[in-house]
Amino acid sequence: MVALLIETLYPDIWGRFYQKRDKFTIEENMPLSTLNPEQLAAATAKPGYNLVIASAGTGKTSTIVARIAYLLQQGIDPKKILLLTFTNKAAAEMIARVERVFGKKAKEIEAGTFHAVSYRWLKSLNPKVVLKQPKELKILFKSIYEKRDFSLVSDTKPYAATTLFDLYSLYQNSEFELDFGQWIGKRSEEQTAFGAVYNDIVQEYEEMKEEYGFLSFNDLLLQAIKHKEALQNFYEVLVDEYQDTNNLQAHFLESLRFDSLFCVGDYDQSIYAFNGANIEIIAGFRQRYPNANIFNLSKNYRSTYYILDLAYRVISHNERIFPKKLEVVNQKNPKKPILLAFSDLYEQYENIAQRIKRSLTPKEDIAVIFRNNASADGIEAALREQGIGCKRKGSQSFFEMKEIKALFDLVSVLINPKDLLAFIHIFEYAKGVGASSAKEIFEALQRCGDGDIVKGIKEPIDIQNPFEKKVRNQQLGLFDDMLQIGSKSRFASLDVSETIKSHPVLTHPRLSEEAVLYLDTLLGLYKEIKRIKRPTTFIQLVKDSFIFDNIIKKIAQNRAKLKDGTIDQKLMDEAFERIQRRIALVHHLSQMYEDIYRFYNAMVLGGNEMAQGEGVQLLTVHASKGLEFKEVYIVDLMEGRFPNLKLIAKGGSIEEERRLFYVAVTRAKEILYLSFAKYDRLKKQEFLPSRFLKEAGLIE
């Protein structure tokens, strides 16, 4: 039937594909044979500038896969095809589908996220570059920031280090004309006084990264653009989720050399403005490329009529950038969305948990979607009360937990002693040692070992003062904080090795007893690991060390701290027990590896792909993007929460909030519940229903 339809509507395409039995025919080709006419027209478009507007549930992935299949059938070298996606998982799935038809040559296609592809290219140019995660680089940034005394410049309160770091990342993603200080001043006039200081901080930050060969995610694209002449030419570049590209990614695309560009996206699903995504990029496609072809996929295969109608009623309040009208294909037992109204916030969570318990839908095919992570705790607790398993996504992952991060940072310090950021992160836990002091200790150990950290700890060169003096510069807020050299004798009573007792680093004036014990532990660990081969033994050694035991006790204590500063012993015991369970899981995972380096790389690079729990999916709207479920609950639909009025006040927009609502609704295939509460008894706060419920026609 499909083949007959294609033959009738597209005789030229049919003739091109159905020639000889040993050729790639439409009947034999799964990626093309299942397409509807709109998808097929896009997939077989002539080379040039092509944009496919693919609304939720219209089969954009199938269209991209079919486009790649079409290019390969046309004899295009797979190495000349570049596929850019927003997750590596999406790229892998698309390539796997192509591989089913074309075999191993599909793996020759260059595919991955903007950052993953850039990283591979840069590694081929310079194998020594090291990608560092934002949390790690934030430590380095903070160590540089802390050297400034902003009061020397102005009485105005400066941005905190973490805020400034995030702003710098946003700046790199969006601005190409103003310098950082000017850009900050444009955003906030009161911060103009610190423009020179902020510029100096980021300059030193960039110099430090270059010295140690560290790259941030933004650097991957910036460096790829810088070395664009060394990159290969492509026949076609395909871009998935084009609506979420930011200015840096658009600049990266423009720096590439290609014959054809194929972009797929939906302006109604542009929800990453907080990360620099610029909806004007997809909106201005035809202006940027005057000869562009625009294709529209209008057949929705996911949601039933009532769900799609509700979504469209709300999103139509936003400007229509490209005209589109969706056609419903899913006719399976359509049910009208149900509005749930509750007197109290927690009553809402309890009722939804009870409904889920009674539901005949498999738990893995049910999702609870929320705008803010604050909603997740209540619904998770209510589900656990009902004995319903759940999987939480969109909030802190297992590998982002402080205890897990500390464990692998300590492993990194042992197997890669040059890892400055891991060292700083570990020593920041020692009493009295901040990021700046930890960096000074690291650099001093390097000097004591003539560039070798391990040698600097085990067999230090006797240097009277291994700490370099800082240059004072009042205009840039720099100050000389090394006022005097401390005495080693103050640690004479500590039960540590003679090597550490006489170590030159002990002259640091802010070195605490705890930090000395950390150094002594590190000395012992460097001696011990020489005889260890198996990752399980290595992890056991690390988790039993004084350093790690000290760190996890502090983490548990911090999690048990009440608002008045006192420690709840019961909460601390529970927190410590949860930490121990997580560490036990890491130890268990290490049993599957024979080499500590392979284990470390797998955990650090692949950690974000792993998750805990099973059953009902608890998702932020952002985390739900690209997923679909038979039964969906969208909770906390109150003014202030969804839409999030605080974020709007900080530079967001009601249009973006409306797009988030559209994305949440269109995750549902058959059953949709929308809920709100009128009162939060804990915060003693009253709520009004979300304006989106009114726009949807569910309330007056």
What pLDDT is attached to residue 22?
Answer: 33
Per-residue pLDDT reduced to its tens digit, 382-414: 786 677 878 877 555 556 779 989 999 999 999
The token pair at 602 is 């797998």
What pLDDT is attached to residue 19?
Answer: 35
Burial code (b: 16+ CB inside 10 Å, e: under 16) for 265-293 equals bbbbbbbbbeebbbbebbbebeeeeeeeb
Residue 593, CA distances (Å) to 537, 607, 639, 673 in order: 11, 15, 50, 45
Is the pLDDT at 474 greater than 60? The verdict is no
Is the pLDDT at 254 greater than 50? The verdict is yes
What pLDDT is attached to residue 20?
Answer: 32
Contact 457, 526 (CB under 8 A): yes
Per-residue pLDDT reduced to its tens digit, 66-88: 999 999 999 999 999 999 998 88
State the DSSP H helix or E strand holding residue 437, giving kind and residue range, or none if neither.
helix 435-448
Looking at residues 218-243, what average pLDDT do you find?
91
Is the pLDDT at 537 greater than 70? The verdict is yes
Tell me how far apart the alpha carbons of residues 360 and 670 are, in angstroms, rounded to a whole number: 13
Indicate the pLDDT class of residue 478, thresholds 50, 70 and 90.
low
Per-residue pLDDT reduced to its tens digit, 117-136: 898 888 888 887 788 888 88
A 10 A CB-CB count for 189 gives 9
In terms of pLDDT, which residue wins out, 483 or 424? 424
Radius of gyration (C-alpha) of the chain in whole angstroms: 28
Per-residue pLDDT reduced to its tens digit, 338-388: 999 999 988 999 899 999 999 999 999 999 999 987 788 778 777 866 778
Tell me how far apart the alpha carbons of residues 251 and 256 are, in angstroms, rounded to a whole number: 9
Three-state secondary structure along 459-520? CCCCCCCCCCCCCCEHHHCECCCCCCCCCHHHHCCCCCCHHHHCCHHHHCCCCCHHHHHHHH
Mean per-residue pLDDT over the chain, rounded = 85
What pLDDT is attached to residue 563?
Answer: 66
The token pair at 544 is 């039993």
Residue 133, SS3 per DSSP? coil
Is the pLDDT at 27 greater than 60? The verdict is no
- Give the single-character DSSP code of 689: B
Indicate the pLDDT class of residue 101, thresholds 50, 70 and 90.
confident
Indicate the pLDDT class of residue 581, thresholds 50, 70 and 90.
confident
What pLDDT is attached to residue 1?
Answer: 33
Is the pLDDT at 7 greater than 50? The verdict is no
What pLDDT is attached to residue 386?
Answer: 79
Residue 562 dihedral angles phi and psi, to the nearest 5°:
-85, 175
Looking at residues 283-311, what average pLDDT do you find?
91
What pLDDT is attached to residue 86?
Answer: 85
Tell me how far apart the alpha carbons of residues 91 and 71 are, in angstroms, rounded to a whole number: 17
What pLDDT is attached to residue 14?
Answer: 35
* Most trustworthy range by pLDDT among 19-28, 225-234, 303-312, 585-594: 303-312
Looking at residues 528-537, what average pLDDT do you find?
89
What pLDDT is attached to residue 326?
Answer: 78
State the DSSP H helix or E strand holding residue 51, giving kind and residue range, or none if neither.
strand 49-54
Map out the domains of the chain as residue ranges.
31-127+224-297, 133-215, 335-396+610-696, 402-469+486-602
Contact 304, 332 (CB under 8 A): yes
Distance of CA 367 to the CA centre of its chain: 21
Least confident window among 45-49, 412-416, 422-426, 586-590: 586-590
State the DSSP H helix or E strand holding residue 675, giving kind and residue range, or none if neither.
strand 668-677
Indicate the pLDDT class of residue 530, thresholds 50, 70 and 90.
confident
Contact 161, 142 (CB under 8 A): yes
Tell me how far apart the alpha carbons of residues 560 and 571 are, in angstroms, rounded to a whole number: 5
Of residues 110, 36, 22, 105, the one with CA closest to residue 66: 36
What pLDDT is attached to residue 652?
Answer: 83
Contact 338, 672 (CB under 8 A): yes
pLDDT above 70 as % of the chain: 89
What pLDDT is attached to residue 9?
Answer: 34
Q: In CATH terms, are 31-127+224-297 and 335-396+610-696 the same topology?
A: yes
Tell me how far apart the alpha carbons of residues 585 and 607 are, in angstroms, rounded to a whole number: 13
What pLDDT is attached to residue 398?
Answer: 56
Dihedral sign (CA 548, 550, 553, 555) = negative
Q: Which CATH superfamily hosts domain 335-396+610-696?
A: P-loop containing nucleotide triphosphate hydrolases (3.40.50.300)
Indicate the pLDDT class of residue 476, thresholds 50, 70 and 90.
low
CA angle (512, 509, 402) in 5-degree steps: 40
What pLDDT is attached to residue 472?
Answer: 53
* Most trustworthy range by pLDDT among 10-19, 42-51, 560-569, 580-589: 42-51
Looking at residues 474-483, what average pLDDT do you find?
53
Q: Tell the burial category of 310 from Cβ atoms under 10 Å away from its Cβ (0-12, 13-18, 19+).
A: buried
Least confident window among 238-247, 611-620, 670-679: 611-620
- Give the single-character DSSP code of 561: B
Tell me how far apart the alpha carbons of residues 314 and 662 are, in angstroms, rounded to a whole number: 7
What pLDDT is attached to residue 212?
Answer: 85
What pLDDT is attached to residue 396?
Answer: 59
Fold of 31-127+224-297: Rossmann fold (3.40.50)
Q: What is the dihedral of CA 180, 185, 187, 188, to 10 degrees?
A: 140
Residue 368 dihedral angles phi and psi, to the nearest 5°:
-110, 120
Least confident window among 58-62, 64-68, 424-428: 58-62
Contact 242, 282 (CB under 8 A): yes
Per-residue pLDDT reduced to its tens digit, 460-472: 988 877 786 555 5
Looking at residues 610-622, what average pLDDT do you find?
74
